Amino acid sequence: MSLALAEPAASTSIALDVETVSHRYDVDGKDLQVLDDVSLSIAPGEFVALLGPSGCGKSTLLRLAAGLETPTTGSVREDGRPIAAPDPDRILVFQDPTLFPWRTVRGNIAIGLEARGLIREREYRIDEVLKLVKLEGFSDFYPHQLSGGMAQRAALARALVNDPKLLLLDEPFGKLDSLTRLRMQNELLDLWKSAGFTALLVTHDVEEALLLADRVIVLSDRPASIVAEVRVDQSHPRRRDDADLIALRRSLLEKLGISHDV
Ligand code: ADP
Ligand code: MG
């Protein structure tokens, strides 16, 4: 008999399986089909980007993965188990940071831990994530005292303090100026590499998808179905002027129905 000397390390990521999912909304008694037979498997720790026309159903797909909705047909599973409700293991980050204006940065980040009764036990995590998103000096600032990039960093920290195993990002950098966006993309990559979560990023920025993701998935117009999938095998950091990435960008733009001279 041998003695187990160490507990197995808690897993930091999950597998996400979307299987033959179709989804409909009832809009004033009319049926609106948003997703059409979408199947997608994301491996633990993988970084997948979703591209698709506005209104095709990208946010809906993220909400299904977050457990905020259940699919009309088909299934969405984490590590094989159906996702039926929200869980701090799966966190959705929005385009708008949606910080509470009456709480400081620290107070905003603390919310998830407070709600789960873990604040005493894990308060140290707040300082850790503040450092991760480079806001150590700003913990007592209120949201109105932050730049757009800082507010989005605070929103990321608020997600990360829960140690999510799946991070769902809905156009998180869409409203940031281009320099801040580039910086935040690099920071997201660093966070993903160090924390090890599975990432599903919705973006309208083809270049962002190619710079960050292991795999890029293109959705059709609503009702969204998967029209293309490309694997990006390059290691990080990636160069946006890399010939392979430029070729991939061109082919993705074509798949999105945008001519390649843009
Ligand atoms: P995307 O994120 O790709 O822009 P969404 O998933 O937000 O698209 O929305 C897809 C379609 O579903 C849109 O036509 C939108 O108006 C509609 N929709 C989204 N959420 C709801 C809802 N809760 N009820 C009714 N219709 C919705
Ligand atoms: Mg959306």
Closest residue CA from atom 20 of ligand 1: 60
* 158-167 per-position pLDDT tens digit: 999 999 999 9
Looking from the CA of residue 53, the nearest atom of ligand 1 is 3
Ligand 1 probe mutation, 24, 36, 59, 94, most atoms within 8 A of CB:
59
Q: How far away, in angstroms, is 60 Cα from ligand 1 center? A: 6
- Note whether residue 262 is domain-resident: no
**Are 173 and 233 part of one and the same domain?**
yes
- Note whether residue 6 is domain-resident: no
Q: Where is pLDDT greater, at 4 or 98?
A: 98
Q: How far away, in angstroms, is 203 Cα from ligand 2 center? A: 9
* Ramachandran quadrant class, 96 (left: phi over 0; alpha: psi -120 to 50; beta: rest): beta
**Are 50 and 68 part of one and the same domain?**
yes
What single-letter DSSP state applies at residue 78? Answer: E
**Are 201 and 170 part of one and the same domain?**
yes
Residue 257 pLDDT grade (very low, low, confident, very high; cuts 50, 70, 90)? confident
- Note whether residue 173 is domain-resident: yes
**Are 149 and 208 part of one and the same domain?**
no
Q: How far away, in angstroms, is 30 Cα from ligand 1 center? A: 14
What CATH number does the domain containing 223 carry?
3.40.50.300
Give me the pLDDT at residue 176, please.
87
**Are 71 and 85 part of one and the same domain?**
yes
- Note whether residue 41 is domain-resident: yes
From the CA of 170, which ligand is nearest?
Answer: 2
Using CA atoms, how far residue 204 sits from 24, 129, 134, 226, 241, in Å, is: 23, 27, 26, 15, 19
**Are 81 and 135 part of one and the same domain?**
no
- Note whether residue 1 is domain-resident: no
Q: How far away, in angstroms, is 60 Cα from ligand 2 center? A: 7
- Note whether residue 261 is domain-resident: no
**Are 84 and 168 part of one and the same domain?**
yes
- Note whether residue 238 is domain-resident: yes
The mean pLDDT of 69-88, rounded to a whole number, is 96
What is the C-alpha to C-alpha distance for residues 131 and 184, in angstroms, rounded to an integer? 14
**Are 49 and 38 part of one and the same domain?**
yes
For residue 99, the tally of other CB atoms under 10 A from its CB is 22
Give the structural domain span for 61.
16-89+164-255
**Are 172 and 244 part of one and the same domain?**
yes
| Last residue in a domain, options 134, 163, 192 | 163
**Are 239 and 168 part of one and the same domain?**
yes
For residue 56, give both structure tokens.
Answer: 């095709």
Strand-pair category, 198-202 with 47-51: parallel
Closest residue CA from atom 23 of ligand 1: 25
* 45-67 per-position pLDDT tens digit: 999 999 999 999 999 999 999 99
Q: How many domains does the chain have?
A: 2
**Are 122 and 179 part of one and the same domain?**
no
Looking from the CA of residue 202, the nearest atom of ligand 1 is 2
Token match 């979703």: residue?
Answer: 50
* 9-44 per-position pLDDT tens digit: 578 999 999 999 999 999 999 999 999 999 999 999
**Are 83 and 207 part of one and the same domain?**
yes
Give me the pLDDT at residue 180, please.
87
| Last residue in a domain, options 148, 163, 178 | 163
| Last residue in a domain, options 147, 163, 179 | 163
Token match 């920025």: residue?
Answer: 205
Give me the pLDDT at residue 175, please.
87
What is the C-alpha to C-alpha distance for residues 95 and 33, in angstroms, rounded to an integer? 24
Looking from the CA of residue 60, the nearest atom of ligand 1 is 6
From the CA of 63, which ligand is nearest?
Answer: 1
- Note whether residue 76 is domain-resident: yes
Is the pLDDT at 261 greater than 90? The verdict is: no
Q: How far away, in angstroms, is 3 Cα from ligand 1 center? A: 54
